[in-house]
């Protein structure tokens, strides 16, 4: 329940700063996808790969699902909202060191509270490490806050597309595999099945995001539906091959759902690309019909 309360508080705070007019929806989207990619990589690495801490959500009966739900809440909602709020104040007050310290302190205090209430379990960790890493991350973000908020110059189109492709293609996996256990990647790179699944899924999402970011600028707007359709087909064929090879295990799943799961996100990636491209050109977005 503490995660839900935190989400509501930061969502309300972020709505207030967005309504002030400094942040466009393009800025919000760019900050969201960038923060989620960075936070997801860090949390999954520290939690599953290195076993430094756990983030139980205390909302689901299945301990494994509940454990991953905490990461989904943290990386997918709470930290991106905090990044949006931070960038608003960063461009408004131009005091990067002070703001970085204050927001890092907020995260440190939150972590102490979470640990006291059982929503974070340390194995080899400390709130001082979180505060230090958060301070470094906020200080770096402060250097780019103006580019996210004012978009003059904007953050690299390729970087934004990479992050957006990662987020759009990985969110379904986080829910369907991480929380619902409908299927699992199991190439046996790690002894822990969850670490194995998350590392593989995240690697695939980053590789496909990199391909999208590299290829998209080389295609004209009317050719891009075929590009993203092709990327969806590549992902789908790879997943079907992995299933036949035993690298992808079905539980309550089948090939039809695999096709839907790996094709559908690229339709959203296409729309995101068109939305961003149209904004940069000052034109209405291209439609598929």
Of the chain, the percentage scoring pLDDT greater than 90 comes to 64
| Phi, psi values for residue 182, rounded to 5° | -80, -25
What's the pLDDT score for residue 149?
87
pLDDT at 280 (0 to 100)? 60
Question: In DSSP terms, which residues pair with 185 in a beta bridge?
Answer: 248
Of 18 and 166, the structure prediction assigns the larger pLDDT to 166
pLDDT tens, 253-280? Answer: 999 999 999 999 999 999 999 888 776 6
Q: What is the pLDDT of residues 135-165, one digit of tens each?
A: 999 999 999 998 888 877 788 889 999 999 9
Q: How far apart are CA 94 and CA 190, in angstroms?
A: 44
Dihedral, CA atoms, 169, 170, 171, 174, nearest 10 degrees? 150
């Amino acid at each position: 329940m503490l995660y839900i309360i935190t989400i509501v508080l930061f969502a309300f705070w972020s709505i207030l700063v967005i309504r002030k007019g400094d942040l466009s929806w393009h800025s919000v989207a760019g900050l969201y996808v960038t923060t989620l990619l960075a936070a997801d990589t860090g949390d999954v690495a520290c939690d599953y790969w290195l076993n430094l801490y756990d983030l139980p959500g205390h909302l689901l009966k299945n301990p494994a699902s509940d454990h991953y739900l905490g990461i989904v809440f943290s990386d997918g909602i709470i930290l991106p909202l905090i990044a949006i709020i931070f960038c608003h104040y960063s461009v408004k007050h131009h005091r990067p060191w002070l703001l970085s310290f204050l927001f890092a302190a907020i995260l440190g205090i939150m972590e102490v509270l979470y640990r006291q209430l059982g929503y974070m379990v340390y194995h080899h960790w400390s709130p001082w490490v979180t505060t230090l890493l958060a301070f470094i991350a906020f200080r770096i973000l402060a250097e780019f806050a103006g580019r996210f908020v004012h978009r003059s110059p904007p953050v690299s189109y390729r970087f934004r597309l990479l992050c957006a492709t990662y987020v759009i293609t990985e969110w379904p996996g986080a829910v369907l595999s991480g929380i619902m256990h409908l299927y699992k990647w199991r190439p046996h790179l790690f002894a822990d099945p969850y670490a194995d699944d998350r590392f593989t899924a995240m690697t695939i999402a980053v590789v496909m995001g990199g391909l999208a970011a590299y290829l998209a600028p080389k295609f004209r707007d009317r050719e891009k539906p075929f590009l993203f359709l092709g990327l969806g087909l590549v992902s789908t064929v790879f997943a079907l091959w992995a299933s036949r090879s035993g690298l992808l295990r079905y539980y309550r799943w089948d090939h039809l759902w695999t096709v839907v799961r790996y094709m559908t996100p690229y339709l959203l990636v296409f729309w995101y690309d068109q939305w961003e491209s149209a904004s940069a050109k000052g034109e209405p977005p291209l439609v598929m019909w």
